[in-house]
Amino acid sequence: MNFNRNLFLVAGIIFLQSCDSSTHSESANSDQEIKVTAEQLDKLGITNGEHLSAASKRALNWPNIGNEWFLEFSDLKPLKGDLAYEEGVVRRDPSAMIFENGKYYVWYSKSVGATDGFAGDIEKDKVFPWDRCDIWYATSEDGWTWKEEGMAVGRGAAGAYDDRSVFTVEIMKHEDKYYLSYQTVKSPYTVRVKNQIGLAWADSPNGPWTKSVEPILSPADNGIWKGEEQDRFAVEKKGDFDSHKVHDPCIVPYNGKFYLYYKGEQMGEEITFGGRQIRHGVAVADNPLGPYVKSEFNPISNSGHEICVWPYNGGIASLITTDGPEKNTIQWSPDGINFEIMSSIKGAPHAIGLNRYADTEKEPTEILRWGLSHIYNNSDYQSIMRFSSRKITSHKAKGE
């Protein structure tokens, strides 16, 4: 399957000389002419092939990929057992699930107590729900009723890069070893604090886990804050797309290497197309423990939030949600770096934990048939829920 956009460009694009200012109102159609077939006009409902709006030109350049990537999500359902909502406790950002020893395993961020924000004493208070977290894990035989097994990875000692919080964890199994990648914060938790990524590994999903002494990925060190006040929007130089934070790590074995996908936040983050300026990047290593080298092609998305990626058809698929002009899409890349839009979706859950036990080659979205997510029960506390989806390739009214 070749999704190179150039293969789908409409044949016969003829470039004309620019018109003068007297025909400015026709400029959308005068800078180029596109010859289209009667079949294309009929399919897209275009009134006149000689007068194409910018929207029609974009539609004519869409890849002809069908609806195999389209799906709809159902409402989230509460879990049973130890992962049911518990007042006073935050359980959020579930990892992907793996199936070992006859049961599912999931890891997640866990903290207790209400959120105080930045207005209080940041040395003592809890800034965000994901502040002062440790990584816990639970098991289930059916994916509905879960038993909390205990802490997997805790915060580091005072002064360590992960002494404030460890959270937003992801699991990778490779050659009978298990790897947890996760986000870290060092005290004090200020608005300008630079999040990093840590790693832990074990011979069993039950641990014990050995933590990396140093982070395996850090923000780009090429932005410049303006002034000394704690203002994350005040910058002299913004730097790379990940100059402030690296978030939401997910390591995928791919083409004999290890691709660490992550979310980047830029110093002086702006709002674009009505959404936060969030983009994804990738760093590649020859060994699961690193070193991880950021791709020269970063950023590899112009939208998104939490990382949700899976292998498919020799490439990597990515669910893009929440922020940016291409939010609410599923994208696919033949090489793990160059992504194109495969479908537009709605209602995708936040912080998806995929079912890695699924057959990812059965169809593009098989891995999204069910999994875990989280919900804000209120402003202070979150709980883990279960999502499901169904494949849709046509639109019919009831009774049709």
Name all domains of the chain by residue range, CATH numbers in brackets. Answer: 5-60 (no CATH), 71-391 (2.115.10.20)
pLDDT > 80? residue 28: no
Would you mind telling me the total number of residues written for the chain in this entry? Answer: 400
pLDDT digits (tens, 9 = 90+) for 238-275: 999 999 999 999 999 999 999 999 999 999 999 888 78
pLDDT digits (tens, 9 = 90+) for 268-314: 999 888 789 999 999 999 999 999 999 999 999 999 999 999 999 99
pLDDT of amino acid 3: 39
pLDDT digits (tens, 9 = 90+) for 82-119: 999 999 999 999 999 999 999 999 999 999 999 999 98
pLDDT of amino acid 291: 98
CA dihedral 40, 44, 48, 51 (to 10 degrees): -100
Could you tell me the pLDDT band of residue 67, with boundaries at 50, 70 and 90?
confident
Mean pLDDT of 214-220: 98
d(C-alpha 382, C-alpha 379), whole Å: 8
Average pLDDT, rounded, for the chain? 90
pLDDT > 80? residue 33: no
d(C-alpha 289, C-alpha 292), whole Å: 8
pLDDT > 90? residue 73: yes
What is the C-alpha R_g of the chain? 23
Strand, helix or coil for residue 170: strand
- Report pTM: 0.90
E strand map for 154-231: 165-174, 177-185, 196-202, 210-211, 224-225
- Surface-to-core class of residue 320, CB atoms within 10 Å of its CB (0-12 exposed, 13-18 middle, 19+ buried): buried
pLDDT of amino acid 32: 57
Strand, helix or coil for residue 29: helix
For the chain, percent helix, then strand, then coil, each to nearest 5?
10, 40, 55
